Structures are given as C-alpha cells and as structure tokens.
Amino acid sequence: MPSNHSFPDLQPIDESDRTLLSHVHPLDWVNPAPADCYDLVVIGAGTAGLVVAAGAAGLGIGLKVALVERNLMGGDCLNVGCVPSKCVIRSSRAIADIRNAAPFGIHPPENINIDFAAVMQRMRSIRAGISHHDSVERFRALGVDVFLGSAQFVDGKTVVVNGDRLRFKKAVIATGARATRPDVKGLAEAGYLTNETVFSLTDRPKRLAVIGGGPIGCELAQAFHRLGCEVSLFHKNAHLLDREDSDAAEIIQQGFLREGMQLILNCTLESVEKTDTGKTIHYSQDGTTHSLEVDEIFVGAGRSPNVEGLNLEAVGVDYDKRRGVVVNDYLQTTNPQIYAAGDICMNWKYTHAADAAARIVIKNTLFSPFGWGRSKLSNLVMPWVTYTDPEIAHVGLYEAEAHAKGLETETIKVSFSSVDRAIADGEMEGFVKILHQRGSDRILGATIVARHAGEMISEITLAIVTKQGLSALSGVIHPYPTQAEAIKKAADAYRRTLLIPRSRGLLKFLTKLS
C-alpha cells in the first residue's frame, strides 16, 4: 500500500498540475524499506536537499543516501518560488514591451487584451515541464531512497518517517522557510495570499494590495500591475528596497510611480476586515489613519524557517524560531553529526546560495575526516538579483560594509546612457557601479541596474572570486555592441585614473624611442 503521506495543497489540479504531482509527489508512491544505516539522511527536498542527495549518491562510491520530503520535491524554487515567479514576470515584460513600443516606430493598440488565465496556465505548463529534474523517479534512479512524509529526530542516530526508522551516520537539515505572516489584526480572518498560494490564481484580482517593499513584494507587485491589477504597495519604511544600493532602489521606485502603481510608504498596518465588496486595510501614515479596499492581499514581507516538528531538542540542535537552525561556518549544527543548508539556516535565501551551501555540506560531512580541509560558508562570494524591470544585481560589499571593515574605497559609476547598445535598446536608465579599494584595482563589490543585470553580474563575480582586478577587466574584449560593455567602460575609467603626470611623462618618453 502507498505510504501514509499527506496530499500537497496545490491548486488548481489541471493537466499541468497532475503532471507536476506525478513527478514531485506521486500519490501512489510507496516508501522503500529503509537500509540498515545511511551515510546521509537529508531532510527536505528543496534545492539544498536535492543537491546534497544527488551529489553524494552520484559519486558512484556506494554511499547510502535517504531523502525525506513532506510536501513537494523541488521545494519553493520549483513549485512556488523562482520558476513560477519568473514565468509570470516574463509575461508581464511582454506586456510592457507592447505598451512601450511607440518610440521604436511600432504603434500598439489602445486596448491590449491580457488573458490572465492563459498567463497562469503558461506558468503551470512550464513548471510541470521541468519538474522531472526534481522527480522522485530521477532520484530513485540516482540510487537515493526517497521517503515522502514528515521526518522527526528520535535520537542522535535515528529519524522516523511514517513509522519507518532511518538510522544515519550523518544527517542534513534542509527544510527551508515559508512566508512570514505580519501580525496584523484581522488579516488571517480576511484571507491573504503568499508565494505559496498566489500562483494558484486563475482569475485576475482587480485590486491587489502587496505588503512588503523588499525583493519579493516589488517583483510581484510590478508583474501583477502590468498584468492588469490595480496594485497598492505597502512598505513600512520610507523607500522601497531599502537594503539595496540607494541609487538603484531610487530607479525602481521612480519606475513604479511612472507605471501608475500606488506606493504607500512609511506606513503601519493597523487591521484588516472583510466586507461584502472586498477587504479593507486600515493603516496609519504620518500620524493619520487611512483605509483602502482591495480584492486580494499578497504578503511578501519576509521568511520564517521551518523548524517545527523536527524534534530538534532531542538531538541537541540549537535553533531560533526567527533565524532558524544555528550553524557554524562549516554549516555544522550544535550536534556535530548533523549539518544544515539553505533557507533553514542562512541569511542568503536564494536558490543559488542553497546550491553552493549544499556542496560545502557534501565535502564537510563526507570528505573532511577529523575536520581536515573543510570548506567555509564565509568564503563564498554571493551575487544576487532582484528581478524587477530593470533588474538590480549585486555582488560583494556595499560601501558602508567596506568602511566597517576599515577599507578605504573609491567608486566608479558608468551610466547606460553612455553605452551604445543600451541607447539602441532604449534601455538607458541604469548603471554599472563598481566599488574598489582606494589606491588599488581590487574589486570589493558591484551593483548593476539594467533590464538583464542578472546576466551581467557574473563577470564581476568571477573577477572577485579569481582575484582579478579592474586592470584585468579592462583587458577583456567585450563584443560590440553589448550592454555588458559598460563593465569594460568602468574598468577603463579606472585605468585612466592611473595617468598621473609622472606616468604621462613616461609614456611621452617611450613614444620618442619607438
């Protein structure tokens, strides 16, 4: 008989979702008979858990690996995060391109028909189409024992899943995080959406409130606004994306205002009540109370770690309900035989960060006897991208962080208004900003604001990782015309600062000898 695992909450159950479920949580799945002892038991089949399990099992050295998932294989990224959000964002960009086509000599119709249901169906179809990469069958074929159900530690060597006892030498906690619910009176009773439910929409909400002006809130606020929702974006601080470079955040905020989005900043949510015609949000701003009625509320204001139900106390694993499982720089918990990776324990809550951390865990759990040669989380150079339009991509230090480390800095900024390809593309709003150590070409950090900034930041990330400075970037030939040429322009600008009178004199002397 199939194991007694719960049915995942996924809506609507159409052909695409049935395909998805057949891959990531088949209802007829029968958990295997447990091995006598596993080299690794991995709890959670999001990005971190999948990479640990596949990486360890795929080495071909006979390791016994168990992977436990209580909901959907693939975790947030595949099912309710990166993949569906980028599909919806792509549709919203298509709409923006049509609306903004006039300067390119193309006259769009007055009324653009947006088929919201078709947008969401496209997303579900793409999600289902790539879900086989994270499927139970793929991982079984890799030699991983996949258990669908909730895991709980019972002692320092055993996890129980649906009554099955999984003995382990080492375990990895990769249970991820979930959307945080603001403590607002009446919000739960009125009902709200999070990233876990918003992609189940088939009907477009006419009036949509978005709570949270961070990356998730901004990305989806812009996307749904472009898809025809009247979006009101609530943020507790004075500026959107206030953890980002201030110049970059200002470009996004002004862009939102030009697109007609309502921004309600420096506000405090007081209460929410459901009415016959919608949901009314009561909030205070500048000492005055206001009200706004909407049809749906999307909450994108932070993440909470999934630490509940694991019985971590039984195995001496310290955790905090807000910050997650406590780990050291080697991703080792307070129990030396148990490690953690991904959103459950890290400030970097990105898929690529979970992937990188998982690789550290594989090395440190399996190939670092007596602690020799262990890898450190702090050695990672972590880029990230906010997928608004334009995007904000960042890597390395911000100026304030560099100064806190006692580093003197210089900044080079190149506007895309000086880059030929950006001019031709009509995408001149944005910049490349590179922070380097004063008196040196050492790159400390960089921020790029461009429509495809995420595709450009890796060049600078590679330079930081390989300790190549601005002089090396200046010598890299960039195809013309590309927007990435802005990086070379920034590096060339640094080289020009080296032309002090003494060096100019030397150059003049060399020309006489040539």
Element (H or E) spanning 290, and its range?
Answer: strand 288-294
Within 146-228, residue ranges assigned H as helices are 187-190, 215-226
Q: Are strands 278-285 and 267-275 parallel, antiparallel or unpaired?
A: antiparallel
Yes or no: say if 20 and 10 are a contact pair by the CB < 8 Å rule: yes
Element (H or E) spanning 39, and its range?
Answer: strand 38-43
Query: CA–CA separation, 319 vs 307, rounded Å?
Result: 8
Q: Quick one: 78 exposed, middle or buried, by C-beta within 10 A (0-12, 13-18, 19+)?
A: buried
- Cβ-based neighbour number of residue 110 at 10 Å: 5
Query: CA–CA separation, 363 vs 117, rounded Å?
Result: 45
Query: CA–CA separation, 359 vs 21, rounded Å?
Result: 27
**Feature table: binding site for NAD(+):** 212-219, 302
Element (H or E) spanning 207, and its range?
Answer: strand 207-211
Angle at 85 between CA 240 and CA 395, to 5 degrees: 55
**Feature table: binding site for FAD:** 86, 343
Yes or no: say if 270 and 185 are a contact pair by the CB < 8 Å rule: yes
Query: CA–CA separation, 230 vs 118, rounded Å?
Result: 19
DSSP one-letter code for 151: E
DSSP one-letter code for 363: H
Yes or no: say if 245 and 256 are a contact pair by the CB < 8 Å rule: no
- Structure token pair of residue 225: 């606004």
Yes or no: say if 485 and 478 are a contact pair by the CB < 8 Å rule: yes
Query: CA–CA separation, 138 vs 73, rounded Å?
Result: 11
Beta bridge partners, 170, equal 40
**Feature table: binding site:** 86, 212-219, 302, 343
Provide the terminal-to-terminal Cα distance of the chain, rounded to the nearest Å: 86
